[in-house]
Each structure stands twice: as C-alpha cells, then as structure tokens.
Amino acid sequence: MSIGARTSHLRRSNLALVLDQLRRRGPSSRSQLVAATGLTRSAIAGLVGELEELRLVIEGPSEPDGRPGRPSPVVRIDDRSVAVLAIEIFVDEIGVAIVALDGSILGAERRSRPRARVAVAETISDVTALVDQLDAASPHPRLIGCGASVTGLVRDADGFVVAAPNLGWTDVPLARLLTAALDRGLAVRVGNDADLGALAELRSGAGVGSDHMVYVSGEVGVGGGLIVAGRPVVGHFGFAGEIGHMPVNPEGRQCRCGSIGCWETEVGERALLARAGLDPDGGRSAVEELLDRAAGDDRAALAALDAEARWLAMGIAGLVNVLDLDTVVLGGLFARVLPAIRRQLDEELVRRRYLAAGRRVRVVGAALGASAVTVGTAELAFRSLLEDPAGVMNATFG
C-alpha cells in the first residue's frame, strides 16, 4: 500500500470509528470523543468537521444541565439526514420499517399472513405493497440502504437463501429478487433473522456487556445467533447458529428440515401447543390462550409448559457447556413464556449441571422484544455507510 493509500484508509477508518462511538454513546463532547477513541484533539476536530460536512452529525449546545456556566457543545448523530429500509420476513408475518441512523424507527408497517401465503412470489409482492404503503404514510429522509431478514439459511456474500424449511423455500436469490422488485437503486442485503436479532441484543439490548452470548429465538422454528469473544460466529459457509436443528431426541418427531428429533420439534410453537391440546398451527393467539389457561391452573397447559422448560434447558445446557457462554438471551416465543417457566427452567438447568465449575450464566428475556430483528436488520442495511461514511455519502449525494 502506498503512503497516500494508507493515509486515506486510516482516515476512512477513523471517520467510521467516530461515527460508531457516537451511535453507541449518544451525544458526546469532543473531549469525550478524544477519551473514547484515543485520537488527538485536533484529529477529532477534523473528523467531526468532515462528518458534519457529510451531514451525518450535528454539533451544537447540549441540553442545559442546571449547572452554572455555558454547557460545552456536543456532537450528535443527525437523525434526519439518512435512513434505511428494514424488511422482515417471518412465517406468520412480514414487516417493513424506516430506521434512522440513530436507531429510531421513523415508520413501520406489519401484516400477518395465512400459512398458505408464504411462497416466494407472494412474499415479494406483499413486501413491495407494504413498502409502498409505508412510503405513503410517513415522509422520511433519503434511503441509503436496505436490509432484509428471513427465517432461513442465508449465504452471507450474496443474500442467497439456501433453505428456509418453515417457509418451504429452497435456493432463492432473495437479495437479487428484492433489489429488482423494489426498483429504487437500493442494493438489498439479506441476513438470518436470529443472527440479526442477536447482533441487536448485543449492541443495545440484553446482551450489552457480554462477549460470549447466544440469542435463542423461537416461533414456529427456532433460530439462534452466537457471539463468541465479542464477534458473531458465522462458520464456513455463513450458516452457523442453526441451533433449532441440533438433534436432541432420536425417538422424536420428523422435522421440516428432513431430520428427526431436532430441538425445534421439541421446543417450537407447534410442539408447545400440541402438548397443551391446542391447534399446533394456532400461532401467537393460541400461545396467549395457553398462558391464560396455565394461569388458571389448567393441568394440560401446565404440563405443556413443564415439558417446554425441560427441553429448553436441555439445549441451553448443551450450548453453554460447549461454548462457555455468560449470557443466554431468549427471544420471541421463549421471551413470552419465560415468566411462566422461569422456576422450572432454572431447576432443570441446575440439574443439567451447566453451573459446574462455579459458572454463572445469565438467562434473560430479550430487551428489545419484537424490535430486536428490526434493529438488527437496519444495522445490516447501514453496514456499508458505517464502514465507509464518506464513500457512501458522496456516492449517494455526490
């Protein structure tokens, strides 16, 4: 690398560093940025100036804090300059949202859909209709990227969905299809919903402060995102984290992936509802019904929740024992049933001996709730900008 190329590379990564600090810490004074980044005062002045010119940050007076004297100016993210489109594709629901650079959701539309309407073409046409609706409903800043999450195996490099068993999809070039269907010159990036939820919880939810974490999210299927030593585990092809398909029961049921006794066949929504004598395809309202019945001491509902706790503990203990995790974040279905199974789950986890060697593991519900995947999907859409702020802004606004 020539000296010139090295200097411009360094400048680009320093711009990205300052922008990242502002997004994590919120409004900060220049001195706070100096302390947080280890850069010199004059370097910070130059970088803040450049980010201001790119319209990504604003520098101005801070909120008065009641102390005498003039408050020092702070630098904050400009939440009205750019935004991204975040698309979420689940089995029972699709959602679209406009998300600003500071993470605020500027507008969102969601639509539930029947299980008979999940084919690729129907999904794409429902997504574009929702995006049009969102466009009409909420004026928003210029879109500079688009992310899509899907509940399936996604090849990282090109957003190709190799398999999404609960949608019945195989070999779908989802990034390419969405890019063409949206027709806005936005390149769409695609990721697995649980991986993106995990990133969001790690950055701004229940996983803050953890470096060894698993996010376990259940709906019809079960997905997971693994963070080890502070970084997402992606694996050889980018398929890591398919914890729903850990084999746990050789005598178990047929899984949609073709195998027998995968974890999701024991802890997924269908198994839980079937054990309680409810319609396995009853969706979220049937789960609410089950929780109501359990609160009224209904025996079948209580037994179903007991079984849920037992099988959940089995998988969690396995993951903790293999990866030496400090935090387990439960999302979706598991976050909803957690208060009802907390005691049995803790007892089972102790019985599974995962606390051996004095290990302490936090098992907590997702803090971002249903918006974890939205936040993570927006993060994916912002990735290019966050890696090269000047390059992307100049290309967009030239």
Residues that bind Zn ion (CB under 5 A): 245, 255, 257, 259, 262
Q: Compare residues 151 and 179 and give the one whose CB is closer to Zn ion.
A: 151
Q: How far is the CB of 314 from Zn ion (least distance, A)?
A: 15
| DSSP label at residue 28 | B
The three state secondary structure string of 114-136 is CCCCCCHHHHHHHHHHHHHHHHH
CB-wise, 262 or 294, nearer to Zn ion? 262
Cβ atoms < 10 Å from Cβ of 56? 22
**Least CB distance from residue 341 to Zn ion, whole Å?**
23
Q: Nearest approach, Cβ of 258 to Zn ion (angstroms)?
A: 7
Nearer to Zn ion, 104 or 254 (CB): 254
Give the span between the Cα atoms of 19 and 124, in whole angstroms. Answer: 33
> In sequence order, which ranges of 222-355 are alpha helices (DSSP H)?
263-267, 269-275, 283-295, 299-323, 333-351
Rounded to the nearest whole angstrom, what is the least distance from the CB of residue 89 to Zn ion in the complex? 19
Token pair of 74, please?
């702070």
Beta carbon of residue 76, minimum distance to Zn ion (angstroms, whole number): 46
Those residues with Cβ within 8 angstroms of residue 387's Cβ, 6 or more apart along the chain or in another chain: 16
Residue 175, Cβ neighbours under 10 Å: how many?
Answer: 23
H or E element that contains 105: strand 105-112
Closest approach of Zn ion to the CB of residue 320, in Å: 21
Selection from 263, 293, 262 nearest residue 277 by Cα? 293
Give the residue with the Cβ less far from Zn ion, 252 or 365: 252
Nearest distance, CB of residue 221 and Zn ion, angstroms: 8
Residue 98 phi, psi dihedral angles, 5° rounding:
-105, 125
Angle value at C-alpha 301, between 296 and 306, nearest 5 degrees: 115
Selection from 48, 50, 100, 98 nearest residue 76 by Cα: 48
Q: Which is nearer to Zn ion, 204 or 265 (CB)?
A: 265
**Smallest distance from the beta carbon of 165 to Zn ion, in angstroms?**
7
Three-state secondary structure call for residue 369 = coil
User: Which residue shows structure tokens 């963070």?
Assistant: 227
- Residue 52 or residue 281: which is nearer to Zn ion going by CB? 281
- Looking at the Cβ atoms of 245 and 270, the one nearer to Zn ion is 245
Under 8 Å between Cβ of 183 and 359: no
Q: How far is the CB of 248 from Zn ion (least distance, A)?
A: 10
Q: Which is nearer to Zn ion, 201 or 242 (CB)?
A: 242
What gap in Å lies between CA 333 and CA 277, rounded to an integer?
Answer: 18
If the CB atoms of residues 31 and 259 are measured against Zn ion, the closer one turns out to be 259
Pairing type for strands 327-332 and 231-232 reads: unpaired
